[in-house]
Each structure stands twice: as structure tokens, then as C-alpha cells.
């Protein structure tokens, strides 16, 4: 039985661990953490195009504000499949510092 199995069992036990087992356990933890972080990075880099309603929810603004920002060039919409959409990367730029640099 390895350390992962012991942890998953939920039993409260005292364990004596060899250095080899401890090193293997650390490697498994590092590998699992690396895989989780890679998924987060990949999902953050993938461009999405939320609807105006969703952008309003994210930025906590009214639809009229989005319309005004579009007219001023602050946050411009795009037509995707005949519907108005916004680049999530531009929405995040506003959230992270207040503007889009072009």
C-alpha cells in the first residue's frame, strides 16, 4: 500500500516512511500539481467570446454602459454568428487595470 492509498483511506494511523517512499510521494504530488496548473494556464489562454449580458454580469455594469464603451472604442464588440460578442481577454484587461492597450 502506498502513501496515497493510506491518505485516501481516511484512517487515522501513525506511519513510518522510508526516504524512498517519501521521495516517490513528493514526486506524485508535484506531478499532480503541475498537471492541475497546466490545465488552469491552458484554460486562461483560450479566448472566449461572452455575450453582452454575461459581460455586464462580469463587469457589474449596465447594457447601456457597454453600448457607450463600444461607441467610444473602450471595449469593442465583434459579430460572431450574427450576434454581438466581446473578447474575454479584453474584459479581463479592464478587470485587471482598467483599460485595453492597442
Alpha carbon dihedral 4, 5, 8, 14, in 10-degree steps, equals -90
Q: pLDDT higher for 44 or 28? A: 28
- Identify whether residues 90 and 56 lie together within a single domain: yes
- Identify whether residues 37 and 56 lie together within a single domain: no
Instruction: Using a cut of 0.75, tell me whether the model's pTM lies above it.
Output: no
Is residue 73 in some structural domain? yes
- Identify whether residues 72 and 37 lie together within a single domain: no
The percent of residues above 90 in pLDDT, for the chain, comes to 50
- pLDDT exceeds cutoff 70 at 98: no
Is residue 24 in some structural domain? yes
Alpha carbon dihedral 79, 85, 90, 94, in 10-degree steps, equals 130
Is residue 5 in some structural domain? no
Mean pLDDT of the chain: 87
- Identify whether residues 71 and 91 lie together within a single domain: yes
Average pLDDT score over residue span 88-96: 90
Alpha carbon dihedral 25, 28, 34, 38, in 10-degree steps, equals -150
Range of the domain at 73: 52-97
Amino acid at each position: 500500500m502506498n502513501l496515497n492509498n493510506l491518505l485516501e483511506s481516511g484512517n487515522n494511523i501513525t506511519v513510518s516512511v522510508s526516504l524512498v517512499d517519501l521521495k516517490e510521494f513528493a514526486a506524485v504530488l508535484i506531478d499532480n500539481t503541475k498537471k492541475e496548473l497546466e490545465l488552469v494556464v491552458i484554460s486562461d489562454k483560450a479566448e472566449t467570446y461572452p455575450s453582452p449580458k454575461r459581460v455586464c454580469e462580469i463587469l457589474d455594469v449596465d447594457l447601456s454602459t457597454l453600448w457607450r464603451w463600444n461607441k467610444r472604442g473602450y471595449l469593442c464588440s465583434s459579430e460572431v454568428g450574427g450576434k454581438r460578442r466581446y473578447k474575454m481577454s479584453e474584459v479581463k484587461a479592464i478587470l485587471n487595470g482598467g483599460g485595453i492597450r492597442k
